[in-house]
Structure 1
Amino acid sequence: MEAVLIDHDPQALARLANLLSAYPADVQVVGQATDGAQGQALVRALRPEVVILDIELPLLSGFELLAQLEVMPIVIFTTAHEHYAVRAFEAGAIDYLLKPLDPSRLARTITRLRHIQQERTAGVNLNDLGQFLRHLKPTETLRSLSVKSGDKILLIPLSDISYFESQERYVLLRTVQGQQHLTSYTIAALEEKLPAHFVRISRSCLINTTYINNLQRYFSGKFLVTLTDRAASCLETGTAYGNNLKRLLEL
């Protein structure tokens, strides 16, 4: 499998590449990067089957990098921090390796990759690698999203979320109680990831429709949507997204 390696530390990159060289039949390193933006460009250009990356990267974190990809590769995280584990697997990683890398632990990861390759060779008929990985994992209902708060990782139940709103480079999660948290996801990634009752109403906003209080017709086919959250949030739909709500509410 072709792989791209991404780590802010050139020495860590060199060590990882050296360890992987012991498995030429399983992994071929086709690119390396030392920051998230460069790594994302490499992944888009080379379309590797595997990406092995650090989480704390310059410019884009590992989570931000993955959230913005159109096609998801097999993901393996390498990091010196144990507390990212829950979020790493929520992001779709097949493994989570702690630094400094243990060669025997890496060997187990290679075995996982080998099994995935064997399944593919056996003729699983799927359109892309992302679908293949979903096929391997049992379907689970997403019940919460993880967000970073200081040194902690919080799990926010979906039922507590009223809407998401993008502001410049960030997406804010807003709860029914009025709290807000920064997330590493894009609106497009959330639209793909969340259950059907989360509906995109504009380029920058995705709402939990279970909290809709009322709709008011606006101009140019738009609506004003008022929610039942503590702030009684009033949000404007985009012209191109009004039909999403109309179909949902059978207007």
Structure 2
Amino acid sequence: MEAILIDDEPLALRRLASLLSHYPADVQVVAQAANGAEGLALVRAMRPDVIFLDIEMPLLNGFELLAQLEEMPSVIFTTAYDHYAVQAFEQRSIDYLLKPIEPARLAKTIARLRQAHQEKTAGFNINDLGQFLQNLKPTETLRSLSVKSGDKILLIALSDISYFESQERYVFVRTVQGVQHLTNYTIAALEEKLPDQFVRISRSCIVNTAHINNLQRYFGGKFLVTLTDRPASCLETGTAYGSNLKRLMEL
């Protein structure tokens, strides 16, 4: 089976490729991608038998990648989801590998792939994608946020975050000190996982209400939201989200 590995962590890619090299009769790694957008292009161009797919990635996460595929290969998620999500994977008959991937667990995955390939079934029905993704919504809220800074992984306390903002396909976190970091989350995923003190005020912005200084009425039923962070950030609400902010702030 021809395989494409898709993961934004170089070490995870190298480890998985190394582990799969022990199964030359079953799997041939034909390409690797460092993010979801690159992975989508490779899958469309090369049409592999199987993809090993990370979930939280910049540009395009694993779920978003699957939603854009016209033809579905066998899908093996490489993930750190908790046991509730793992149960959902099993119920949908899609295999998963919890990081760090263990050789013994990978052996079971290869056996499942071998059987699926012999039966000529991919183990995934794209028509079930909506229900599948619904089952895999995060079950716990975030308590901190991990971001990459060079060769380091930084943990940012939620209390130190003033807001999140999407710019094209990237989502950035802004700290109260005015520092910006790239995240691996989409705005939609953050809206699901963040606690109630974070509220989405527009299609592209989620704000930490603990750092709101004042609100000013703006055109078309919108508001300008000024924060207490070091840059004194001023954010514009979207028309569809103004009522949500008003209720939260008891205006």
Q: Please state how far the C-alpha of 1:237 moved relative to its aligned partner.
A: 1.1
**In the alignment, is the contact (CA less than 8 A) between 1:97 and 1:106 conserved in 2?**
no
> Does 2:196 match 1:201?
no
Q: Which residue of 1 aligns with 2:223?
A: 223
Gaps of 5+ in 1: 24-31, 45-49, 56-60, 77-87, 114-126
> Does 2:53 match 1:53?
yes
Could you report, residue by residue, the CA deviation over 1:206-250 in whole angstroms, capped at 9, with x for unpaired residues?
101121121110111110111122222211112222122122223
Q: Which residue of 1 aligns with 2:132?
A: 129
Change (3 A) 1:216 1:182: same
Q: 5 Å matches for 1:94-243?
A: 94-96=97-99, 104-107=104-107, 128-133=131-136, 139-243=139-243
- Percent identity between matched residues is 62
- Matching residue's letter, 2:131: D
Q: Which residue of 1 aligns with 2:5?
A: 6
Q: Which residue of 2 aligns with 1:89?
A: 80
Q: Distance in 1 between matches of 2:81 and 2:58?
A: 10
**In the alignment, is the contact (CA less than 8 A) between 2:215 and 2:223 conserved in 1?**
yes
- Matching residue's letter, 1:107: A
Q: Please state how far the C-alpha of 1:33 moved relative to its aligned partner.
A: 6.2
**In the alignment, is the contact (CA less than 8 A) between 1:173 and 1:180 conserved in 2?**
yes
Q: Distance in 2 between matches of 1:21 and 1:63?
A: 33
Q: Please state how far the C-alpha of 1:167 moved relative to its aligned partner.
A: 2.6
Change (3 A) 1:185 1:7: closer
Q: Distance in 1 between matches of 2:166 and 2:39?
A: 23
**In the alignment, is the contact (CA less than 8 A) between 2:59 and 2:170 conserved in 1?**
no
Q: Distance in 2 between matches of 1:43 and 1:191?
A: 29
Could you report, residue by residue, the CA deviation over 1:83-115 in whole angstroms, capped at 9, with x for unpaired residues?
xxxxx52697751256xxx753412557999xx
Q: Please state how far the C-alpha of 1:5 moved relative to its aligned partner.
A: 4.1
Q: How many residues align?
A: 211
Could you report, residue by residue, the CA deviation over 1:111-157 in whole angstroms, capped at 9, with x for unpaired residues?
999xxxxxxxxxxxxx83345456xx9x5442011100000111111
Q: Which residue of 2 aligns with 1:65?
A: 60
Q: Distance in 1 between matches of 2:141 and 2:202?
A: 25
Q: Distance in 1 between matches of 2:196 and 2:42?
A: 32
**In the alignment, is the contact (CA less than 8 A) between 2:54 and 2:62 conserved in 1?**
no
Q: Distance in 1 between matches of 2:132 and 2:21?
A: 23
**In the alignment, is the contact (CA less than 8 A) between 1:172 and 1:181 conserved in 2?**
yes
Change (3 A) 1:19 1:62: farther
Gaps of 5+ in 2: 8-12, 45-49, 68-74, 86-95, 114-129
Q: Distance in 1 between matches of 2:26 and 2:103?
A: 10
TM-score, structure 1 normalization: 0.61
Q: Distance in 2 between matches of 1:199 and 1:69?
A: 22
- Matching residue's letter, 2:61: L
